[in-house]
C-alpha cells in the first residue's frame, strides 16, 4: 500500500473510532429536554406511540464497550491500520503456507519416499506393490482384469507377460498410463476376401503356426508392401505405433484363424484412457511400479 493510501486508511479508522468514542462519552451526559411523564413529547399515531427517554441498558453498554476495546486490540495485533503490520506479524500468505505445510505433513510420507526411486527400483518395494495393487483394482482391473492378464474382448493387453505394445521401461509404462494410448489397425477388406484370407495364413506363418504355405506365399509381397510399414518387414512390430509383434504367439485380439481374419478384414482399435487428469503423478508413479512388478516378478526388493 502506498504512503498516501496508508494515511487515508489511518485517517478513516481514527475518524470512525473517534465518532464511536464520542457517542459513548457524550450519550449518557447529553441533556435531552423531557416532559414530566419521562417522554420527549414526540408523539405519533395520534398520541398512541410516544418517544420515551430511558438510559441505555447496562448489558448493551458493556457489550459495545468491550467490542470497541477489542477492535483497538485487533488493530494493534493484526494488519488493518494502514501499513502497520501488527505486532503478531500475521499475513494471509503466511497463514496459507502454514496450512499447506500442515497438510503436507499429513500426506502419506510413503509417497514422498517413493518419489526418490525410479519405477524400476520401486517395483521391488512391498509397500509400493500393496498401494499399487489397490490403485490397480480401483482403476485398471475393469479392463485389464484383476490379475492384469488382460481382456481380448476389449483389446486390453495382458500386462504380466513382459510383451509390450508401447515399451516396457519404467518411462514407457508411465507414459502409457499418464497420456493414454490408442493403436489403430486399419481395415483391409478393400484388398478383397481372398487376399485377406491369404494374409491371415501369412500372419500364422510368422509365428510358426500351422498354415497353408501356398496362400501365405501369395500374401507375402502384400505384407511386405502394405503391412510392414507398421508391423515391420519381419513382423516384429513397431512400438512407436503400438503395432504388435505378430511373431510371438501373444495375441491382443485373438490368435485363431477366425480372429486374425476378422482383425485384418475389419481393423481394430484399442483405447487406453489417459489418467493424468484423474490420478496424481505420485499415484501414476506407484501404478507404473506395480505394472513393472507384475511383469517382472523376479525383481526383488532393492
Ligand atoms: C477402458 C479400458 C482400460 C482401462 C480402464 C485401463 N486400460 Fe490400460 N489399456 C487399455 C487398452 C485397450 C490398451 C491397449 C491400447 C492400444 O491397443 O493401443 C491399454 C494399454 C495399457 C498399457 C500399455 C501396454 C503395452 O503393452 O505397452 C499399460 C501399461 C496400461 N494399459 C496400464 C493401465 C493402467 C495402469 C490402468 C489403470 C490406471 C489402465 N491401463 C486402465 C485399456 C484400459
Ligand atoms: C497403420 C499401421 C498398421 C498397418 C499398415 C497394419 N497394421 Fe496391423 N495393427 C496395427 C496396430 C496399431 C495394431 C494393434 C491394434 C490395437 O491396438 O488394438 C494392429 C494389429 C494387428 C493384428 C492383431 C494382433 C494381435 O495381437 O491380436 C494383426 C493380425 C494385424 N495387425 C495384421 C496386419 C496385417 C496383415 C496388415 C496388412 C494388411 C496390417 N496389420 C497393417 C497397425 C497397423
289 shares its domain with 148: yes
What CATH number is associated with residue 272?
1.10.760.10
Q: How many domains does the chain have?
A: 2
Residue with the smallest CA separation from ligand 2 atom 41 is 227
Proportion of the chain above pLDDT 90, given as a percent? 68
Residue span of the structural domain in which 10 resides: 3-28+36-42+53-92
* Average pLDDT of span 244-273: 96
Q: What average pLDDT does range 49-53 have in this prediction?
A: 83
What is the reported pLDDT for 202? 97
Query: Residue 271 and residue 201: Cα distance in Å, rounded?
Result: 27
Ligand 1 neighbourhood includes 244 CB (under 6 angstroms): no
Which range among 91-105, 109-123, 272-286 has the greatest average pLDDT? 272-286
Residues 195 and 62 in one domain: no
Does residue 124 share a domain with residue 16?
no
Residue 294 has which C-alpha cell? Answer: 507384475
Ligand 1 pocket, residue 148 CB under 6 Å:
no
DSSP 8-state class, residue 252: S
Say what percent of the chain tops pLDDT 70: 97
67 and 119 both lie in a single domain: no
Residue from 222, 230, 233 whose mutation best tests the ligand 2 pocket (most atoms within 8 A of CB)? 230
Cβ neighbours around 216 below 10 Å, total: 19
| 300 domain-assigned | no
Q: Is 178 annotated as a binding residue?
A: no
Pair (161, 216) in one structural domain: yes
Q: Please give the distance, rounded to the nearest whole angstrom, from the Cα atom of residue 235 to the centre of ligand 1.
A: 22
- Give the pLDDT mean for 244-268: 96
97, part of any domain: no
Task: Give 91's pLDDT tier (boundaries 50, 70, 90).
Answer: confident
In this prediction, residue 301 carries a pLDDT of 47
How many angstroms does the Cα of residue 260 sit away from the middle of ligand 1?
A: 21
Q: Does 191 share its domain with 249? A: yes
Nearest residue to 200 (alpha-carbon basis) of 268, 261, 263: 261
The response to whether 215 counts as a known ligand-binding position is no
* Inside any domain, residue 47: no
Ligand nearest to the CA of 216: 2
CB-ligand 1 contact for 166 (6 Å cutoff): yes
Tell whether 206 and 59 lie within a shared domain: no
**To the nearest whole number, what is the mean pLDDT of the chain?**
91
**Which of the four pLDDT bands, split at 50, 70 and 90, describes residue 106?**
low
Give me the pLDDT at residue 111, please: 79
CA of 279, closest atom in ligand 1:
38
Name residues contacting ligand 2 (CB within 6 A).
Answer: 155, 183-186, 188, 199, 203, 223, 226-227, 229-231, 241-244, 246, 251-253, 260, 263-264, 268-270
Q: Give the other-Cβ count within 10 Å of 126's Cβ.
A: 9
Q: Which one of 13-27, 94-108, 197-211 scores highest in mean pLDDT? A: 197-211
What is residue 35's predicted lDDT score, i.e. its pLDDT? 82
Main-chain phi, psi angles of 114, to 5 degrees: -60, -35
* Residues 6 or more apart in contact with residue 50 via CB below 8 angstroms: 39, 40, 41, 42, 43, 44
Residue 212 has pLDDT above 80, yes or no: yes
**Is there a single domain that holds both residue 145 and residue 246?**
yes
Same domain, 200 and 236: yes
Residue 287 inside a domain? The answer is yes
State whether 126 and 86 are in the same domain. Answer: no
Confidence (pTM): 0.72
Amino acid at each position: 500500500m502506498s504512503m498516501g493510501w496508508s494515511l487515508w486508511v489511518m485517517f478513516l479508522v481514527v475518524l470512525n473510532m473517534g465518532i464511536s468514542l464520542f457517542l459513548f462519552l457524550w450519550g449518557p451526559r447529553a441533556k435531552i429536554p423531557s416532559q414530566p411523564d419521562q417522554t420527549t413529547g414526540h408523539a405519533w399515531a395520534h398520541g398512541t406511540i410516544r418517544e420515551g427517554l430511558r438510559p441505555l441498558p447496562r448489558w448493551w453498554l458493556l457489550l459495545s464497550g468491550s467490542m470497541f476495546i477489542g477492535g483497538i486490540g485487533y488493530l494493534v495485533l493484526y494488519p488493518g491500520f494502514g501499513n502497520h503490520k501488527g505486532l503478531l506479524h500475521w499475513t494471509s500468505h503466511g497463514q496459507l503456507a502454514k496450512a499447506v505445510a500442515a497438510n503436507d505433513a499429513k500426506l502419506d510420507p510413503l509417497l514422498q519416499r517413493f518419489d526418490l526411486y525410479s519405477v524400476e527400483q520401486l517395483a521391488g518395494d512391498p509397500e509400493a506393490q500393496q498401494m499399487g495393487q489397490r490403485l490397480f483394482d480401483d482403476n485398471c482391473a475393469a479392463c485389464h482384469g484383476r490379475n492384469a492378464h488382460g481382456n481380448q474382448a476389449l483389446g486390453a493387453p495382458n500386462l504380466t507377460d513382459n510383451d509390450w505394445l508401447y515399451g516396457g521401461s519404467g518411462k514407457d509404462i508411465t507414459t502409457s498410463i499418464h497420456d493414454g494410448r490408442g493403436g489403430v489397425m486399419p481395415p483391409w477388406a478393400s484388398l478383397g476376401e481372398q487376399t485377406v484370407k491369404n494374409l491371415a495364413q501369412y500372419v500364422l506363418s510368422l509365428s510358426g503356426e500351422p498354415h497353408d504355405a501356398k496362400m501365405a506365399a501369395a500374401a507375402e509381397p502384400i505384407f511386405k508392401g502394405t503391412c510392414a510399414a507398421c508391423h515391420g518387414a519381419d513382423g516384429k512390430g513397431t512400438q512407436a505405433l503400438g503395432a504388435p509383434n505378430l511373431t510371438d504367439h501373444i495375441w491382443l485380439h485373438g490368435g485363431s484363424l477366425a480372429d486374425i481374419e476378422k482383425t485384418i478384414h475389419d481393423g481394430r482399435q484399442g483405447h487406453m484412457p489417459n489418467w493424468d487428469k484423474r490420478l496424481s503423478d505420485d499415484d501414476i508413479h506407484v501404478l507404473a511400479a506395480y505394472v513393472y512388478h507384475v511383469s517382472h516378478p523376479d525383481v526383488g526388493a532393492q
